[in-house]
Amino acid sequence: MKKVLIVEDERDLAELLAYNLEKEGYQALVTGTGLEGLETARRELPDLILLDLMLPGMMGTEVCSSLRHSDKTRGIPVLMLTARGDEIDRVVGFEMGADDYIVKPFSMRELMLRIRAILRRSGQEPLNSERQITMGTIVIDCGSHRVTVAGVEIELTSTEYKLLLYLAEHNGRVMKRELLLQDVWGYNFVGDTRTVDTHVTRLRNKLGDAGDMIKTVRGFGYKLEE
């Protein structure tokens, strides 16, 4: 049975998470502070850690980087829970090495799906944070959040990066605007689907010649293809 460690100071939420994880067949361990979380992680070596970004005493980011400093815990995937979407940009800037994040309030079903996805992935493939995706001349380095086109680094905003990564992860598949809004912008984002168009334009511009790789599929959405 897979072990999942929860590091979350809101007791209600922590218990709710534990309840749902156990219902899904995982073993749940709960801790309320960053220090406890670290100790438990070292002792129990869980398969996944759910880590609140805002913790009393020690920030989730610190916990995360401490985990990354020890060989024993380095490989454990971390899923960050954050209160607001903007916080995550800072985290991303810190190049912390969380494998995924989810913004509160989130749907329990979505969280469970992501957990399942991460655990499935951690079995076989190298971790998300160390992955590198290549599509034609575009290279996305997931660890450093760096994107190069034909060897030249380009600057992307966080939304642009997420959009590109999402399209690249779904290599060649057509993604509907609604789906992009849901998965790139977030589950609870309410907005115009034209927002996607605007960002695609911006992304294409920044990608230069490689911008052509983002294809419009009229009536359906967009895809990234070589």
Partner DNA sequence: CACTGGTGTAACAAGTCTGTAACCTTGCTC
Partner DNA sequence: GAGCAAGGTTACAGACTTGTTACACCAGTG
32, 115, 163 from 37: Cα distances, Å: 7, 18, 32
**What number of other Cβ atoms are within 10 A of residue 28's Cβ?**
20
**Separation of alpha carbons 202 and 105, rounded Å:** 29
Among 9, 36, 62, 110, binds a second copy (CB under 8 A): 110
Binding range to a second copy, per CB under 8 A, among 47-55, 58-66, 91-99, 198-206:
91-99
Per rule CB under 8 A, is residue 219 in the interface with a second copy?
yes
Binding site residues, DNA, CB under 7 A: 86, 89, 155, 157-160, 177, 185, 189-192, 194-195, 197-202, 204-205, 216-221
**Chosen residue from 29, 31, 97, 140 binding a second copy by CB under 8 A:** 97
Angle at 192 between CA 188 and CA 197, to 5 degrees: 115
Cis peptide before 105 (omega within 30 of 0): yes
Contacts of 224 (CB under 8 A, 6+ apart): 135, 164, 167, 168, 170, 171, 172, 213, 214, 215
Nearer to a second copy by Cβ, of 35 and 136: the residue is 136
Contacts with a second copy, residue ranges (CB under 8 A): 10, 12-13, 16, 19-20, 77, 87-88, 90-91, 94-95, 97-101, 105, 107-110, 113-114, 116-117, 120-121, 125, 129, 143-145, 157-159, 161, 172-174, 176, 178-179, 182, 187-188, 190, 217-220, 223, 225
